[in-house]
Amino acid sequence: MEGIATREFLAQRPLYSQDTNELQQYVELAVDWEAMHGLLFRAPATETATWQQTALVPAPITLAPSPIPRSSFDLVVSLQPTLNTLFDRISRDHDFLVSTLQSLGTSDEFTTRVFQMYLKQRLEGAEKPCVIGIHRSDYLINAGAELQAKQVEFNTIAASFASLSAVVGDFHRYMLERTAYKHLLKAGLITREQIPPNESLTSIGDGIAAGFELYGQSEAVVVMVVQPGERNVYDQRLVEKRLWERHHIKTLRLTFAEIRDQCVVDENDRLLIDGQEIAVAYYRSGYAPTDFPTTAEWTGRWLVEKSRAIAVPSLAYHLAGCKKIQQVLANSGVVERFIDDAETAARVRECFVGLYPLDNTSQGMQATRMALHEPHKYVVKPQREGGGYNVYGDDIPKLLTSVSDEERKGYILMDLIRAPPFNSVLVRNGEVVVASVVSELGIYGIFVSDGKNVVVNKQGGHLLRTKAADVSEGGVAAGFAVIDSPLLI
């Protein structure tokens, strides 16, 4: 599928007002709509105002949708089932996982510990009824002669904001119909057809339910494994709501430490809480070292992993999402190891940018020199999810000259993707903010398999996160971005 020419796309984008006084009239309408539809965060708690633990604040959003090339959107949506299959096959290729992750050495203690748990699980022969993959492939639209969607990363653990993303799309449709964006839309056109439907509100719950059915115990429960003091509660509660209202599956919320304290594994490898069997443990935590401050959290995770309960993601899926795997996939012939059809493999590769090791190989040493010489062309990434960990621009030489050769193995180098900026209007903390922004598009993927048969393999909706153009990171929960929806052009 051909992309749209950059000049043509830029000419077709709408023009939004940047007059905050003119736009102030929309704030009360927007904030009240958010409150009525659960588009909310918990307020940050403070030691001196404990009542804030139950206070709610509106989620940060855009007032109107942001332009994305329709051709790019359609391409990455159609590609998602292929990526689901690719990463499932990676997770099942033990030799590939071992050889790739061992190349990290001891540079990354967190990834090493997850890897060692994976090896222990294999050695002990823990059997699971199925795998459930809840993924998200993230893209930026790279501005060349033609606009092309280029993959930022593939998330296999705790891919968040699926629920709130769909709600933001509903908000933008409401605002279009209620106000016609009068005073905001200064030039161009917005139609309802340009805001695509989004099934991300339902797809994750339905995917978990499909795996739950394969577990084979209708009276069991799902445990959503969460972070202590989680603020993004309602994005999670809407998954819980879908599980209960559509599938009549009960969900409990526990931290890893609470799993250690309250759960046991019986002689039949069942994970139990107060005698209640747990079929699925859906991780909305566990993707960063900060989620494991003590041995209690690691012990809680191991209880899940050694039991019959289906972990979402599995240890193999978690490891398949490491940045090192992403980098090695870009090497010649590696995608083709998992995808036989040459045309399909080529479609996957078209979404890649340059990815390089930062180890002591000749390729790694060359990449290090490239990064030191022209740091503004690249981003350095550790084996992390969640936002706030990547290194950009002038900070790259500072990092690379301060770490040891062994520590440098834990990072990869990636070409910087340059998306075209757009003048948008954000609503954050009840205030209108005008800004030049860029948007990152995520496509959710749902994959369920019993090891022999693929039960579900589909795209599961989308997420658009928008951030100020001069901000490098893109995580909403980390405070860098707002939730948006695409306006297809």
Interval 234-251 mean pLDDT = 98
Question: Is 136 a known active-site residue?
Answer: yes
Q: CA 67 to CA 151: how far, in whole Å?
A: 18
Interval 478-483 mean pLDDT = 76
Question: Is 385 a known active-site residue?
Answer: yes
Asked if 198 and 485 count as a contact pair (C-beta separation under 8 A), the reply is yes
Dump pLDDT digits (tens) for 167-214: 999 999 999 999 999 999 999 999 999 999 999 999 999 999 999 999
Question: Is 155 a known active-site residue?
Answer: yes
Dump pLDDT digits (tens) for 332-357: 999 999 999 999 999 999 999 999 99
Catalytic residue among 324, 384, 408, 465: 465
What secondary structure does DSSP assign to 76-125, as a single string?
A: HHHHHHHHHHHHHHHHH-HHHHHHHHHTTTTS-HHHHHHHHHHHHHHHHT
What is the pLDDT at residue 473?
56
Catalytic residue among 323, 324, 384, 408: 323
Q: Is the pLDDT of residue 419 over 90?
A: yes
Interval 316-340 mean pLDDT = 97
What is the pLDDT at residue 50?
67
What secondary structure does DSSP assign to 272-292, as a single string?
A: EETTEEEEEEEESS-SSGGG-
Asked if 304 and 79 count as a contact pair (C-beta separation under 8 A), the reply is no
Which of 437, 456, 128, 79 is CA-nearest to residue 280? 128
pTM of the entire structure? 0.96
Which of 103-112, 239-248, 257-266 has the weakest average pLDDT?
A: 103-112
Interval 379-385 mean pLDDT = 88
Question: Is 452 a known active-site residue?
Answer: no
- The residue that leads in pLDDT, 430 or 334, is 334
What is the pLDDT at residue 1?
42
- The residue that leads in pLDDT, 470 or 276, is 276
Asked if 489 and 4 count as a contact pair (C-beta separation under 8 A), the reply is yes
Catalytic residue among 17, 66, 72, 155: 155
Q: Which segments of 173-329 are extended strands (E)? A: 185-187, 221-225, 251-254, 263-265, 271-273, 276-283, 310-312
Q: CA 320 to CA 206: how far, in whole Å?
A: 23
Question: Is 323 a known active-site residue?
Answer: yes
Query: Above pLDDT 70, what percent of the chain?
Result: 96
Q: Is the pLDDT of residue 385 over 90?
A: no
**Token pair for 304:** 């899940």
Catalytic residue among 128, 133, 150, 153: 153
Q: CA 160 to CA 153: how far, in whole Å?
A: 14
Dump pLDDT digits (tens) for 349-380: 999 999 999 999 999 999 999 999 999 999 99
Dump pLDDT digits (tens) for 75-133: 999 999 999 999 999 999 999 999 999 988 788 899 999 999 999 999 999 999 999 99
Q: CA 443 to CA 78: how far, in whole Å?
A: 10
What is the pLDDT at residue 207?
98
CA distances from 244 to 212, 226, 333 (A): 13, 18, 44
Q: CA 301 to CA 295: how far, in whole Å?
A: 10
Helix, strand, coil percentages, rounded to 5, for the chain: 40, 25, 35
Q: H-helix or E-strand containing 337?
A: helix 334-338
- pLDDT bracket for residue 136 (50, 70, 90): very high
Catalytic residue among 17, 66, 71, 160: 160
- The residue that leads in pLDDT, 441 or 47, is 441
Q: Is the pLDDT of residue 479 over 60?
A: no
- pLDDT bracket for residue 142 (50, 70, 90): very high
Tokens 């604040």 -> residue:
57
- Residue 268: exposure state from Cβ atoms within 10 A (0-12, 13-18, ≥19): exposed
Q: Burial code of 363-387, b = ≥16 C-beta within 10 A, e = fewer? A: ebeebbebbeeebeebbbbbbbbbb
Catalytic residue among 66, 71, 128, 136: 136
Question: Is 409 a known active-site residue?
Answer: no
What is the pLDDT at residue 475?
55
**Token pair for 255:** 């931290």
CA distances from 61 to 45, 67, 436, 465, 483 (A): 21, 15, 15, 9, 5
Interval 310-326 mean pLDDT = 97
CA distances from 115 to 301, 314, 320 (A): 13, 12, 10
Q: H-helix or E-strand containing 463?
A: strand 454-468
Long-range residue pairs from 298-301, CB within 8 A, at least 24 positions apart, any chain: 298/113, 298/117, 298/256, 299/260, 300/255, 300/256, 300/257, 300/258, 300/259, 300/260, 300/261, 300/263, 301/117, 301/256, 301/259
Catalytic residue among 386, 387, 388, 393: 386
What is the pLDDT at residue 103?
87
Catalytic residue among 260, 301, 308, 381: 381
Q: CA 97 to CA 90: how far, in whole Å?
A: 7
Interval 433-452 mean pLDDT = 96
Catalytic residue among 34, 258, 277, 385: 385
Average pLDDT of the chain?
Answer: 94
Interval 424-438 mean pLDDT = 94
CA distances from 28 to 23, 92, 427, 470 (A): 11, 51, 10, 28
Q: CA 296 to CA 408: how far, in whole Å?
A: 29
